[in-house]
């Protein structure tokens, strides 16, 4: 069975990567797909986010990387994915995620949304927290893959982060 893991990944964090690694062990194939959201101005261009994910997942079997706009259920159909994966960090994620899951199910009952609980030590991580820390020169090496840390340093015009 194939799964679709959609998100903004702006940028990919170790929390996202943990979810990808765990789902790769559960499914025959996992499509990690960057949503091109016209309503959001991303910090990293689409191509750079795709490259960050490709680099960080190159050690994993069965993981593909793609992008889409439009309806997630429609992209799931195109990919042949019967499952949409989402991560749950805390109760605050729940209400929003449940609303999307119900909406997607009403659009396409044959696609199931599956939630994976975030690893406890990554539950504080979000792309926006990472960017906030990086903006002010904090060390993000325990929050993001090495390539993403370099991209963040460039984005905020810092030669590197203190270790
Ligand atoms: P979106 O804008 O679609 O919420 P994100 O890139 O923020 O995109 O998140 C994509 C998915 O990854 C969501 O299901 C989110 O709950 C999950 N996620 C975000 N941060 C983490 C984390 N630290 N650990 C595990 N899953 C996470």
- Which pLDDT does position 38 carry in this prediction? 81
Return the residue whose CA atom lies nearest to atom 12 of ligand 1: 87
Please name the residue ranges forming H helices in 27-81: 46-56, 72-79
Out of 49, 86, 89, 131, the active site residue is 89
Query: What is the predicted pLDDT for the residue at 37?
Result: 84
Q: How far is the CA of 7 from the centre of ligand 1 (A)?
A: 6
2 included as an active-site residue: no
The pLDDT value recorded for residue 163 is: 47
**Could you tell me the CA-to-CA distances from 114 to 88, 119, 139, 151 in Å, in that order?**
10, 16, 32, 31
pLDDT means per 10 residues, the chain with 163 residues, are 98 97 97 92 96 98 97 97 94 90 97 94 94 96 97 83 50
Smallest CA separation from ligand 1 atom 9, residue:
7
* Ligand 1 contact, 86 CB (< 6 A): yes
């Amino acid at each position: 069975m194939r799964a679709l893991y959609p998100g903004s990944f702006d940028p990919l964090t170790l929390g996202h990567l943990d979810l990808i690694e765990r789902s790769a062990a559960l499914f025959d194939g996992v499509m990690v797909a960057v949503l091109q959201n016209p309503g959001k101005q991303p910090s990293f261009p689409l191509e750079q986010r795709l490259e960050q994910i490709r680099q960080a997942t190159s050690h994993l079997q069965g993981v593909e990387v793609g992008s889409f706009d439009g309806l997630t259920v429609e992209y799931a159909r195109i990919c042949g994915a019967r499952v949409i994966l989402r991560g749950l960090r805390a109760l605050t994620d729940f209400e929003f995620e449940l609303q999307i899951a119900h909406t997607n199910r009403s659009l396409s009952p044959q696609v199931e949304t599956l939630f994976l609980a975030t690893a406890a030590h990554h539950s504080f991580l979000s792309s926006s927290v990472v960017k906030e820390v990086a903006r002010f020169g904090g060390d993000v090496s325990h929050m993001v893959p090495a390539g993403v840390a370099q991209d963040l340093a460039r984005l905020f015009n810092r030669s590197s982060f203190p270790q």
